[in-house]
Amino acid sequence: MKEEIFLLASKEKQDEFSNFIQDLKAHYQVKSFAEIQRNKSTVIVLGGDGTLNYLANLVGDDLEGIFVIYFPAGTANDFAKSIKILEGEPSLDKVKNIQEHSPWIDIPLMKCNDKFFINVATGGIPAEVTNSGTDIVKKAVGKVEYYISAIKELIAPETIDLEFTAKEFSKKIATYGFLISQGCYAGGGVKVTSNFTSNFKKTFNLVTMEADKLTECLGALMDLQKKEILQTNDCVISKNLENLMIESKRSIPLKLDGEEYEAKKLEFSKSKNKLNFYIY
Answer with the one of 74, 109, 144 that is the final residue of a domain.
109
105 with 185, same domain: the answer is: no
Number of domains in the chain: 2
Domain CATH code at residue 32: 3.40.50
Could you tell me the pTM of the whole model?
0.83
Backbone φ and ψ for 127, nearest 5 degrees, come out as: -75, -25
pLDDT band at 126; cut points 50, 70, 90 = low
Residue-wise pLDDT tens digits, 236-252? 788 999 999 999 999 99
pLDDT value of position 52: 95
pLDDT above 90 (res 129): no
124 with 86, same domain: the answer is: no
More confident residue, 139 or 84: 84
Residue-wise pLDDT tens digits, 3-42? 999 999 999 999 999 999 999 999 999 999 888 877 789 9
Helix (H) or strand (E) holding 47: strand 42-47
pLDDT above 50 (res 136): no
Residue-wise pLDDT tens digits, 50-78? 999 999 999 888 788 899 999 999 877 88
Q: Does residue 277 fall inside a structural domain?
A: no
For all residues of the chain together, what is the average pLDDT?
83
245 with 136, same domain: the answer is: yes
Q: Does residue 278 fall inside a structural domain?
A: no
Q: Does residue 39 fall inside a structural domain?
A: yes
Q: Does residue 280 fall inside a structural domain?
A: no
166 with 237, same domain: the answer is: yes
105 with 120, same domain: the answer is: no
Q: Does residue 206 fall inside a structural domain?
A: yes
pLDDT band at 233; cut points 50, 70, 90 = low
> What is the spatial distance between Cα 207 and Cα 167, in angstroms, rounded to a whole number?
16
Query: What is the extent of the structural domain holding 72?
Result: 3-109
Answer with the one of 78, 109, 140 that is the final residue of a domain.
109
Q: Does residue 243 fall inside a structural domain?
A: yes
Q: Does residue 276 fall inside a structural domain?
A: no
Of 60-74, 135-149, 193-207, 242-256, which one has max mean pLDDT?
242-256
Answer with the one of 86, 109, 132 that is the final residue of a domain.
109
pLDDT value of position 247: 98
81 with 132, same domain: the answer is: no
CB atoms inside a 10 Å sphere around CB 137:
21
> What is the spatial distance between Cα 175 and Cα 253, in angstroms, rounded to a whole number?
13
